């Protein structure tokens, strides 16, 4: 009998990540997976994807220094449901014991509780109704694995489900049953550009047919799942050689590592790259001088400040290799959005840990911070960039555009010795 997955969301990320993983596990183990796509918003293409039956994922990137491209067929999608038009089709799934896993990535719908609705109207409330139906049919809870980029996503989803159940006055039995359900907190890491317009004609010529749901991603993938190892009995990722980690309590480490190294390198590089005339991440990372600068930032400053462990340096090396991937089309101007708040979350931990270890500022990160101060110093539009002006969407969050004001906005409440060192470096 097939293992059935109820999946809220039919977008490029889930199809290039989880559904691709399920296909890999199926190929490696002989297990059959059948995914039911559930639209988290009224307009979607869940039924259209399911009607087609299969699609392809184009994966590209560097592997051990060599650029690699692979095309994988994915055929795990079984059916599609629009619960806004056919809620009974969703609720009937609750009667089927084969549904062992609920997964989601609902970027537009999100995980939130919104009071004042008398019936299900969003992802958590539809999930709550599905789970209640499951309980009423005497079935055990499925495993619930949200993949949204939200900290403690499983905990927040459980609370949203409970809030709807409480608002709607559901029986105490449901809350007891729900307490026995496993909601996993997760971290996902794969850049998914989506439809590969640059390669679609070549791919379709190779396939001999059009694939309207062709999607793409980078070769690198990482899924960290925090909680009971029971998930491995439903989806044995390790048997397919997938980069999936099931951990009891290390999710915070992996999240911190990603934010500080991948996102931190992005944010620190933005103003340096833009002032140097680089618009795309891959060209900056591939440049001899700036690529070396980025590697030193990742290894000598961020990884060193974190823990200096070999695993951390290996991840830093993977990140730089990923940045060199021309298929991702990463633009520094997109990464620059809301840079002020990003500096505090992505750069501050490295600043503090590096200063505690070395009693000095990390030089390359400091260069990036000072370039960020310069970027914001001329007003709401950075006009003097080689690639043209850049509107600074978060300029109004500053208390002023003097270097001291900008630094205070970037790192509110930063320890006095570190702030003094930054102000000295900025000449204020």
Question: Number of structural domains, the chain?
Answer: 2
The predicted structure's pLDDT at residue 65: 86
Task: Show Cβ contacts of residue 387 under 8 Å, excluding neighbours closer than 6 positions.
Answer: 274, 277, 279, 333
If you average pLDDT over residues 39-45, what whole number do you get? 95
Boundary-marking domain end, from 232, 247, 262: 247
Residue 307 and residue 230 in one domain: no
**Mean of pLDDT values over 217-246:** 97
Q: Residue 319 and residue 427: Cα distance in Å, rounded?
A: 33
Q: Are residues 322 and 190 in the same domain?
A: no
Same domain, 291 and 240: no
Choose one of 193, 214, 247: the last residue of a domain: 247
Residue 189: the pLDDT is: 96
Domain harbouring 78, CATH code: 3.40.50.720
Q: What are phi and psi of 233, to 5 degrees?
A: -80, -20
Q: 269 falls in which pLDDT band (50, 70, 90)?
A: very high
pLDDT average, residue stretch 311-316: 96
**Is residue 186 domain-shared with residue 299, that is, in the same domain?**
no
- pLDDT at site 20: 98
| Alpha-carbon separation of residue 38 from 152, 153, 165, 237 (angstroms) | 22, 19, 20, 23
Whether residue 375 is found in the same domain as residue 308: yes
Note whether 256 and 320 are same-domain residues: yes
Q: Give the pLDDT confidence score for residue 109 in this predicted structure.
A: 72
What range does the domain containing 90 cover? 3-247
Give yes or no for a contact between 374 and 401, defined as CB atoms under 8 angstroms apart: no
In tens, the pLDDT along 339-369 reads 999 999 999 999 999 999 999 999 999 999 9
pLDDT greater than 70 at residue 410: yes
Predicted local confidence at residue 51, as pLDDT = 97
CB under 8 A, 24+ apart: contacts of 384-389: 385/274, 385/275, 386/274, 386/275, 386/276, 386/277, 387/274, 387/277, 387/279, 387/333
- Asked whether residue 235 falls in the same domain as residue 261, the answer is no
State pLDDT tens for residues 270-279: 999 999 999 9
* In a shared domain, residues 401 and 262: yes
Are 265 and 241 in the same domain?
A: no
Tell me what pLDDT residue 220 has: 96
Tokens of 375: 């970027």
Percentage with pLDDT > 90 across the chain = 97
Structure confidence by residue, pLDDT tens digits, 45-83: 999 999 999 999 999 999 888 999 999 999 999 999 999
Instruction: Give the chain's mean pLDDT.
Output: 96
Asked whether residue 199 falls in the same domain as residue 220, the answer is yes
**Which of 216, 247, 278 is at the close of a domain?**
247
Percentage of residues in the chain having pLDDT higher than 70: 100
The Cα diameter of the chain in Å comes to 69
Beta bridge partners of residue 280, listed in sequence order: 331
Domain shared by 264 and 169, yes or no: no
Instruction: Assess whether 99 and 236 both reside in one domain.
Output: yes
Q: Is the pLDDT of residue 110 over 90?
A: no
| CATH number where 416 lies | 1.10.1040.10
Residue 108 in this model has a pLDDT that exceeds 80: no
């Amino acid at each position: 009998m097939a293992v059935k997955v109820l999946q809220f969301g039919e977008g490029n990320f889930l199809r290039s990540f989880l559904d691709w993983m399920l296909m890999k596990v199926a190929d490696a183990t002989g297990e059959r997976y059948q995914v039911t796509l559930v639209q988290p918003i009224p307009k979607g293409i869940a039924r259209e994807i399911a009607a087609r039956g299969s699609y392809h994922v184009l994966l590209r990137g560097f592997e051990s220094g060599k650029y690699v491209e692979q095309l994988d067929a994915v055929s795990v999608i079984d059916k599609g449901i629009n619960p806004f038009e056919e809620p009974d089709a969703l609720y009937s799934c609750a009667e089927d014991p084969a549904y062992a896993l609920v997964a989601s990535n609902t970027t537009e719908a999100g995980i939130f509780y919104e009071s004042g609705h008398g019936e299900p109207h969003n992802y958590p409330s539809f999930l709550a109704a599905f789970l209640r139906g499951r309980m009423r049919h005497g079935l055990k809870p499925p495993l619930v694995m949200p993949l949204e980029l939200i900290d403690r996503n499983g905990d927040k989803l459980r609370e949203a489900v409970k809030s709807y159940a409480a608002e709607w006055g559901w029986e105490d039995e449901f809350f007891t049953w729900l307490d026995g359900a496993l909601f996993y907190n997760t971290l996902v890491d794969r850049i998914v550009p989506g439809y590969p317009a640059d390669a679609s004609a070549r791919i379709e010529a190779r396939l001999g047919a059009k694939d309207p749901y062709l999607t793409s991603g980078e070769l690198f993938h990482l899924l960290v799942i925090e909680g009971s190892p029971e998930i491995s009995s439903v989806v044995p990722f390790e048997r397919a050689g997938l980069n999936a980690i099931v951990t009891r309590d290390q999710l915070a480490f992996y999240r911190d590592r990603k934010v500080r190294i991948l996102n931190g390198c992005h944010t620190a590089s933005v103003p340096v790259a833009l002032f140097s005339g680089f618009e795309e991440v891959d060209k900056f990372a591939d440049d001899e001088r700036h690529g070396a600068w980025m590697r030193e930032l990742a290894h000598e400053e961020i990884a060193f400040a974190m823990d200096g462990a070999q695993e951390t340096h290996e991840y830093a090396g993977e990140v730089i290799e990923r940045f060199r991937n021309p298929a991702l089309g990463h633009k520094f101007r997109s990464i620059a959005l809301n840079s002020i708040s990003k500096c505090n979350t992505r750069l501050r931990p490295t600043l503090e840990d590096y200063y505690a270890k070395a009693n000095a500022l990390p030089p390359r990160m400091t260069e990036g911070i000072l370039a960020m101060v310069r970027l914001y110093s001329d007003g709401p539009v950075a006009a003097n960039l080689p690639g043209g002006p850049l509107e600074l969407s978060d300029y109004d969050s500053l208390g002023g555009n003097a270097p001291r004001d900008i630094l205070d906005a970037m790192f509110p409440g930063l320890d006095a010795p570190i702030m003094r060192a930054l102000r000295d470096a900025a000449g204020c």
